[in-house]
Amino acid sequence: MFCRSCGKKISPKSIFCEYCGEKQKKINTNKINKTSKHIWACDFCGKEFKTKLESDKHEKTCLENPINSKKKNTSKFKKIANSSRIIWFLSMVVFGIVASVLSVSVDKNFENLLSKIGLISIFIVGILAFLSMCLSFALHYSFTSSKGKNFLSRVIKLILNIIFLPLVIMRNLGDSLFGFFILLPMWLLGMFSFLYFFGFVPTSRSVSGNSMDPTIQNEENVKMYGFSLINKIINTPQKGDIVIFSSGRTADNQGQINDYIKRVIATEGDQIEIRDGYLYLNDQISNEPYTASARSTFGGLFLKECKKNTVPSGYVFVMGDNRKRSKDSREIGFVSINEINSILPVNKQSKFNDRQRDASRDQDGHGLPSFNLDDYYLKINKIRTDNGLKTLKRNEKLEKAALARAKSIVDNKEVEKFGENDKGKYPFEKAIRDSGYSNILTGEISTTGYYDAEELSNYWLDYETKKNLLDKQYQDTGIAAYVGKIDDCEVQVIVQEFGGYVPPNYSKSTIDSWRDVVNHLNSIIPSWENAKGWSSMNQEDLSKLLELLYREKTIASNILTKMESGKWLTNQESQSIDEYNSLANQSSALANKLNNQ
């Protein structure tokens, strides 16, 4: 017979179980059919059977058997475990949808429609789906694949399966194709989405452009962390963080929206201002060792020079580290936190520390020109030499003219007219003449901003000013920078003047025509001179005619001499051509009058 408490087999005559000590209940034999020759009864419930085989078989499944009672306790878990694959799949789908919704950056319209409470609700649904996914999967392997008979061991196994779920999946890959092709890929995808969603998994992003030099160089790959909507609510960007964002304001000329990578300079409540090449943060010059060069920040369409602005709630102000090569908040305005899709926190930028410069003396140049003249002349002449051109000679008179022009631009508030072909109240031609410099060709380039010698020379090469810098006809140059104030705002104006001589290239027909003029005058003047004293000719008109012819000859001879010697005509000589034409008309009319007398 079997013990009614522990289920172990004991002697039919035992009063107490030799294993657990439980007193054994006597079977009521009065219920047994006395007419049967052999009676077999269940030791647990007393049910009778005709054969011992039937009795033993019943005892194994009898509900009064303690072992079967424990199995009854786990049956509800088995039912759940048997359907765990469906639960796991549905939970995974829900989690994937939630993760996708929360991982995508949203624009302002979506932000207004979906409140923070709604976002948190969706997030909670995702967490519950993730927990259901883990629990159902662990139940499956704890109550369907286990062969143990102890309920406590199954519960312990369930807990361990939840903790080490990836290892459980790997261990049971061979159980079914379902586990290999569906469960494992979806688990890995879910875990990656979960970790990326919270910003634990970095992804490599390729950077195009030089706006973040020297921190991040062109075509460099940078590991960035995902920045989901939950991050945007509980973990806003901090000053110094590098972020990637996109919006309609980052679209190119074809309407393609691009990702911009910039550094967070100011956050909610910060006051920003750009003045004299420096960034002022809350009325203090900001220490920026990560920038490409000192005193390199200038205003733009959104944040103009010397105009203070405060960052509103939910926004940040961003700029590139290479201030002169970056389109950022100075042009496009504040960036909404919801427009940010990736972030590299400042505490994870240690790999870039060796690219920073010493910024301890950045403020030494406050109010002074930003570049050294000697260095600049060396730079531009190297550029000309590299392009197969002769070097430019530094000319003090042209430097004087450049300084006068720069000061005039500031004093007359003509900075905004740059690029409008407006020569201003003091044209550069006059400034050059007033300096005492004279040459055949003259030219000028100008700009505003704070540059060192190398930056300025490279800046000229990026725009139409390159033509002047690389013009082979110029031999002389002079540059000057003037720092002044316009409406109490410091501004630096840079002006460079050019001068050069080009040998004239008169055509043969032009020279021949002037030679013919001189020869003609030489041939007719003696004839008119012989007419002096003729009574038949008005001597007063004759004297006037000869006077005109003598002047014509002088002008023509001077012009012919200059042209034959390959020299440029002076302004006075050029103007004398008009005088010659007028004299020729007068002499011709007067000659006709005298010939008709």
Task: Look at residue 365 and tell me if it is in a domain.
Answer: no
Q: Which H or E run contains 448?
A: strand 441-448
| Side chain identity at residue 399, one-letter code | E
- Tally of structural domains, the chain: 3
**Domain presence at residue 247:** yes
Whether residue 550 is contained in a domain is answered as yes
Residues 561 and 584 in one domain: yes
In a domain, 434, yes or no: yes
Residue 53 in any domain: the answer is no
User: How many other CB atoms are found less than 10 A from the CB of residue 326?
Assistant: 25
Query: Euclidean distance between the first and final Cα of the chain, in Å?
Result: 171
- Are residue 478 and residue 530 in the same domain, yes or no? no
Q: Is residue 451 part of a domain?
A: yes
Task: Judge if 348 and 231 occupy the same domain.
Answer: yes
CA dihedral 555, 558, 559, 565 (to 10 degrees): 170
Quick one: how far is CA 10 from the chain centroid? Answer: 83
Q: How far is CA 345 from CA 36, 236, 285, 351, 353, in A?
A: 88, 10, 23, 12, 14
Q: Beta-strand (E) ranges in 32-143? A: 40-41, 48-49
H or E segment at 278? strand 278-281
User: Where among 355, 385, 400 does a domain terminate?
Assistant: 355
Other C-beta atoms lying within 10 Å of the C-beta of residue 466: 14
Q: What is the secondary structure of 475-530 as a DSSP string?
A: -EEEEEEEEEEETTEEEEEEEEEEEE-------HHHHHHHHHHHHHHHHHHHHHHH
As a whole number of angstroms, the distance between CA 435 and CA 88 comes to: 87
Is 211 catalytic? The answer is yes
CA R_g for the chain: 49
Secondary structure letter of residue 31 according to DSSP: G
In angstroms, the CA 301 to CA 291 distance is 21
Of 231, 235, 230, 247, give the one whose Cα is nearest residue 118.
230
Do 491 and 377 fall within a single domain? Answer: yes
Pair (455, 526) in one structural domain = no
Distance of CA 553 to the CA centre of its chain: 71
How far is the C-alpha of 296 from the C-alpha of 276, rounded, in Å?
9
Domain boundary among 355, 384, 410: 355
Does 214 share its domain with 243?
yes
Phi/psi zone of residue 271: left (φ > 0), alpha (ψ -120 to 50 degrees), beta?
Answer: beta
Residues 206 and 351 in one domain: yes
* pTM for the full predicted model: 0.56
| Omega within 30 of 0 (cis) for the link into 214 | yes
Catalytic pick among 105, 211, 336, 435:
211
> Which residues touch 196 (CB under 8 Å, ≥6 apart)?
103, 203, 226
Strands (E), 375-430: 393-394
**Which domain covers residue 524, as residue numbers?**
508-596
HEC string of 528-560?
Answer: HHHCCCCCCCCHHHHHHHHHHHHHHHHHHHHHH
Residues 538 and 560 in one domain: yes
Q: How far is CA 68 from the centre of its chain?
A: 69
For residue 467, the domain's CATH number is 3.40.33.10
Domain containing residue 305: CATH number: 2.10.109.10
Shared domain for 420 and 480, answered yes or no, is yes
* CA 258-334-447 angle, 5° bins: 80
Identify the H or E element spanning 280: strand 278-281
Q: Residue 584 half-sphere exposure, CB side, CA atoms within 13 Å? A: 14
Is 397 noted as a catalytic residue in this protein? no
Contacts (Cβ under 8 Å, ≥6 apart) of 161: 137, 138, 141, 142, 168
**Is-contact 344 261, C-beta < 8 A?**
no
444: amino acid identity, one letter: E
User: How many whole angstroms separate alpha carbon 42 and alpha carbon 59?
Assistant: 6
pLDDT in tens, the chain (597 residues): 667 666 666 766 666 676 666 666 655 544 444 444 456 777 667 777 777 777 777 766 776 666 555 444 444 444 444 455 555 556 666 656 665 555 554 433 344 444 555 556 656 665 666 566 566 555 555 555 444 445 566 566 656 555 555 555 555 544 444 455 555 566 666 666 666 666 677 888 999 999 999 999 999 999 998 887 666 767 789 999 999 999 989 998 888 999 999 999 999 999 999 998 899 999 999 999 999 888 889 888 999 989 999 999 989 999 999 998 899 999 999 999 989 989 999 999 999 999 999 988 888 877 777 788 999 999 999 999 999 999 999 999 999 999 999 999 999 988 876 655 567 889 999 999 999 998 889 999 999 888 889 889 988 998 888 999 999 999 999 999 998 888 888 889 999 999 998 888 889 999 999 999 999 999 999 989 998 888 888 889 889 999 999 999 999 999 999 999 888 888 888 889 999 999 999 999 998 888 886
Residue 20 lies in a domain: no
Catalytic member of 262, 324, 379, 400 = 262
The phi, psi pair for 86, rounded to 5°, reads -65, -45
Structure tokens at 291: 């920038």
Q: Would you call 318 helix, strand, or coil by DSSP?
A: strand
Residue 170 lies in a domain: no
User: How are beta strands 309-310 and 315-319 bridged, if at all?
Assistant: unpaired
Q: Which residue among 500, 519, 543 closes a domain?
A: 500
What gap in Å lies between CA 287 and CA 503, rounded to an integer? 54
| 8-state DSSP, 570 | P
Q: For residues 341 and 377, state if they share a domain.
A: no
Q: Is 289:316 a contact under the CB 8 Å cutoff?
A: no
Amino acid symbol at 53: L
Residues 315 and 389 occupy one common structural domain: no
Domain identity same for 466 and 531: no
Alpha-carbon distance 543 to 539, whole Å?
A: 6
Which stretches of 132-207 are assigned E, i.e. beta strand? Answer: 202-206
